[in-house]
């Protein structure tokens, strides 16, 4: 799975800010920024204790760019309050995470990886090496302390329940001492929203870019060109036949969506072993992390399975361009994407019920990241999964249930947002209908955002939606047949101070086919569609229009 690290922050349950679990790298010496991404199997607490040489609890005091670390990384000075396992010299240790600004201005962060920040109180599962400590399994070895309802809790990945801080630490200490007892430390999530749910998530440039907060995409598809992928010869151990046919199937899954213009192609195999952090003009797939660029290795108890780096330009000299067919959104151009499976992936994939289909799922997921798509759920940036996102190929955790590279509606919505069909007014095939354009007076919201909508009944009757009630300068209701029977609630909210974008929220209560358009200025259009006979889905897009 892919993760891009970003400098924005979000509020925790106790009101303090913590680094947002979305990350992208920044401009390199050549002003290319790599975006890394991870896919994982959630490990058990027992396996994390067993595989971690050092476990400590403490507070982050400061952060500095790491020197001599290879990939851009950040060193955090952590004042240790309690050592639960292993030994650490003195009261302060350096904890290193991938992500940050390196020599020559190269910057990199990891999408979905929760970054430490000054003032964080954290429980850390660590692996010492060369005078620094690295979190075991990237973000899976981090638990952040927060207060809720008078309780001190520890929160890790959103698929994990929070832990009572004191009881969890006692359990770890007993486990290390050889005392086994029940896991009595789990708590329920406190009431209140911890994050904003979105139907899909795109990889975005970080705040350290000159052009920050923008999605990244391949512009070649707009010109009818193809993007090739080269696979390491010899194949993936543990997959019958080496997995090349599964790569082809995963490519076809993304190419086969009729609502987008994706056109990936297999460029064959190469006996060369590829560095995933090297921009060399080849989009590559490597196996078993040949240059040990991923810390550690996959273990029986879970962990990281694969990672992708996506490179793009984000300096002042490279202006963003509007997405053809989705002109309201500007994006930066991807220049290269490289991926590799982790050491030990062989053991995981060969142990699944269907190694071919499991490998196909992993490659399909990583190709989604290479296209510019993030995790819709399952990491700290995106939050818990719902009934739709839990079935997505791009969710943060692998399914490994034999589904392979099977795109669901959330995956298709993401790829269609990045690579829509050319006619901006026509909905993607299979959505909405094409014989109607809304012509009546629009709803006009603050800032000059105009909302129009047309519909088609099951009998083929076509008409324009009418403006019902303006609840405020940012929201209103639309109706089809009767003024007293509202069909759609629409909001266009000013989120500029939060993420530099206007947000569009749509909440329909109808199964009638419709085309809805929000426009602003010349050529800036955001659209939402529903297919005849299907209960329309709500949609929350927090990057619908970039603020001017």
Cα distance from N-terminal residue to C-terminal residue, the chain: 32
Q: Answer yes or no: do 274 and 327 share one domain.
A: yes
Lowest mean pLDDT among 13-22, 174-183, 327-336: 13-22
What is the SS3 assignment for 509-531? CCCCEEEEEEECCCCCEEEEEEC
Q: Answer yes or no: do 406 and 329 share one domain.
A: yes
pLDDT digits (tens, 9 = 90+) for 505-537: 999 999 898 888 888 875 578 888 888 888 887
427 confidence band (pLDDT: 50, 70, 90): low
- Among residues 358, 384, 418, which one ends one of the domains? 418
Instruction: Identify the three-state secondary structure at position 367.
Output: helix
Q: CA separation (Å) from 311 to 4, 30, 109, 202, 501?
A: 11, 11, 12, 15, 23
Nearest to 209 by CA among 283, 311, 96: 311
What does the alpha-carbon distance between residue 198 and residue 214 come to, in Å, rounded to a whole number?
16
Mean pLDDT of the chain: 81
Whole-number CA gyration radius for the chain: 24
With the C-alpha atoms ordered 400, 402, 404, 406, is the resulting torsion angle positive or negative?
Answer: negative
Average pLDDT for 159-177: 90
- Among residues 401, 418, 435, which one ends one of the domains? 418
pLDDT digits (tens, 9 = 90+) for 434-456: 556 676 678 888 888 888 888 88
What does the alpha-carbon distance between residue 33 and residue 213 come to, in Å, rounded to a whole number?
13
* 438 domain-assigned: no
* 450 domain-assigned: yes
* 437 domain-assigned: no
Question: What is the DSSP secondary-structure string of 60-76?
Answer: EEEEEEPSS-SS-EEEE
Residue 542: is it exposed, middle or buried by C-beta count within 10 angstroms (0-12/13-18/19+)?
A: middle
pLDDT digits (tens, 9 = 90+) for 36-56: 556 666 788 999 999 999 999
What does the alpha-carbon distance between residue 372 and residue 546 come to, in Å, rounded to a whole number?
18
Nearest to 408 by CA among 396, 427, 426, 394: 394
DSSP E strand stretches across 149-263:
151-155, 163-164, 216-217, 227-232
DSSP state of 463: E
Report the domain count for the chain.
3
Residue 196: per-residue pLDDT = 41
* 131 domain-assigned: yes
Q: Which residues pair with 316 in a beta bridge?
A: none
What does the alpha-carbon distance between residue 247 and residue 339 come to, in Å, rounded to a whole number?
12
Please report, for the domain that includes residue 303, its CATH number: 3.40.390.10
* 181 domain-assigned: no
Burial 254-290 (b: 16+ CB within 10 A, else e): beebebbbbbbebeebeeeebbbbbeeeebbbbbbbb
Q: Which residue has the tokens 């019902």?
A: 468
Other Cβ atoms closer than 10 A to 511: 14
Q: Answer yes or no: do 414 and 448 share one domain.
A: no
Task: Identify the domain containing residue 128 by its residue range.
Answer: 9-27+42-176
Q: Which residue has the tokens 């396996």?
A: 47
Say if CB 230 and CB 269 are below 8 A apart.
yes
Residues in the chain: 548
pLDDT digits (tens, 9 = 90+) for 79-115: 999 999 999 998 999 999 876 555 544 445 565 567 7
Residue 306 pLDDT exceeds 50: yes
Q: Answer yes or no: do 224 and 302 share one domain.
A: yes
Q: Answer yes or no: do 297 and 399 share one domain.
A: yes
Q: Answer yes or no: do 452 and 368 share one domain.
A: no
Residue 530: per-residue pLDDT = 84
* 252 domain-assigned: yes
273 confidence band (pLDDT: 50, 70, 90): confident
What does the alpha-carbon distance between residue 405 and residue 468 come to, in Å, rounded to a whole number?
43
Residue 370 pLDDT exceeds 70: yes
* 193 domain-assigned: no
What does the alpha-carbon distance between residue 487 and residue 505 come to, in Å, rounded to a whole number?
14
Residue 21: per-residue pLDDT = 24
* 477 domain-assigned: yes
Q: Answer yes or no: do 481 and 520 share one domain.
A: yes
Q: Answer yes or no: do 150 and 220 share one domain.
A: no
Please report, for the domain that includes residue 63, its CATH number: 2.40.50.120
Q: Answer yes or no: do 371 and 233 share one domain.
A: yes
Q: Answer yes or no: do 348 and 496 share one domain.
A: no
Lowest mean pLDDT among 189-193, 276-280, 472-476, 490-494: 189-193
What does the alpha-carbon distance between residue 163 and residue 342 come to, in Å, rounded to a whole number?
29
Q: Answer yes or no: do 125 and 88 share one domain.
A: yes
Nearest to 369 by CA among 27, 140, 111: 111
Say if CB 137 and CB 294 are below 8 A apart.
no
Q: Answer yes or no: do 265 and 170 share one domain.
A: no
Residue 244: per-residue pLDDT = 96
Torsions phi, psi for 58 (to 5 deg): -170, -165
């Amino acid at each position: 799975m892919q993760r891009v690290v970003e400098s924005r922050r979000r509020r925790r349950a106790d009101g303090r800010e913590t680094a947002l679990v979305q990350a992208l790298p920044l401009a390199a010496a050549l002003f290319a920024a790599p975006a890394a991404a991870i896919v994982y199997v959630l490990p058990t607490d027992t396996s994390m204790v067993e595989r971690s040489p050092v476990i400590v609890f403490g507070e982050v005091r400061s952060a500095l760019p790491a020197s001599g670390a290879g990939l851009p990384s950040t060193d955090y000075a952590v004042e240790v309050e309690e050592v639960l396992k292993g030994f650490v010299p003195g009261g302060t240790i350096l904890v290193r995470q991938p992500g940050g600004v390196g020599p020559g201005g190269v910057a990199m962060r990891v999408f979905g990886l929760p970054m430490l920040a000054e003032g964080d109180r954290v429980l850390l599962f660590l692996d010492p090496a060369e005078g620094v400590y690295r979190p075991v399994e990237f973000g899976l070895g981090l638990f952040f302390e927060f207060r809720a309802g008078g309780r001190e809790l520890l929160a890790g990945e959103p698929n994990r329940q929070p832990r009572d801080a004191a009881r969890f630490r006692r359990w770890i200490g007993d486990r290390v001492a050889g005392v086994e007892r029940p896991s009595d430390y789990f708590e329920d999530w406190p009431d209140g929203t911890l994050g904003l749910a979105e139907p899909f998530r795109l990889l975005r440039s970080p705040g350290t870019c000159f052009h920050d907060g923008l999605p990244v995409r391949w512009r070649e598809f707009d010109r009818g060109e193809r993007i090739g992928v080269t696979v390491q010869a010899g194949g993936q151990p543990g997959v019958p036949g080496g997995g090349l046919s599964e790569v082809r199937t995963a490519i076809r899954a993304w190419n086969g969506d009729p609502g987008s213009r994706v056109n990936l192609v297999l460029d064959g195999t190469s006996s060369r072993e590829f560095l995933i952090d090297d921009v060399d003009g080849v989009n590559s797939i490597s196996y078993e992390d040949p240059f040990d660029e991923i810390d550690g290795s996959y273990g029986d108890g879970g962990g990281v399975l694969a990672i992708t780096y996506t490179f793009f330009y984000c300096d002042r000299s490279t202006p963003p361009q509007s997405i053809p067919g989705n002109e309201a959104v500007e994006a930066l151009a991807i220049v290269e994407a490289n991926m590799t499976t982790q050491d030990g992936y062989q053991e995981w994939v060969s142990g699944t019920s269907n190694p071919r289909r499991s490998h196909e799922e992993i490659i399909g997921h990583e190709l989604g990241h290479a296209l510019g798509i993030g995790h819709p759920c399952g990491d700290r940036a995106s939050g818990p999964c719902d009934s739709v996102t839990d079935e997505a190929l791009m969710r943060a955790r692998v399914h490994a249930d034999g589904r392979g590279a099977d795109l669901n509606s959330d995956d298709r919505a993401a790829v269609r947002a990045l690579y829509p069909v050319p006619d901006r007014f026509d909905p993607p095939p299979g959505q909405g209908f094409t014989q109607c354009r809304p012509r009546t007076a629009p709803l006009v919201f603050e800032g000059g955002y105009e909302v129009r909508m047309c519909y088609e009944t099951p009998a083929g009757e076509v008409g324009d939606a009418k403006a019902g009630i303006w609840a405020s300068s940012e929201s209103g209701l639309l109706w089809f047949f009767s003024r007293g029977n509202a069909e759609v609630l629409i909001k266009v909210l000013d989120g500029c101070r939060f993420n530099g974008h206007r947000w569009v929220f749509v909440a329909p209560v109808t199964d009638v086919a419709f085309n809805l358009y929000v426009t602003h200025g010349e050529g800036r259009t955001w659209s939402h569609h529903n297919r005849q006979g299907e209960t329309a889905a709500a949609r929350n897009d927090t990057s619908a229009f970039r603020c001017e």
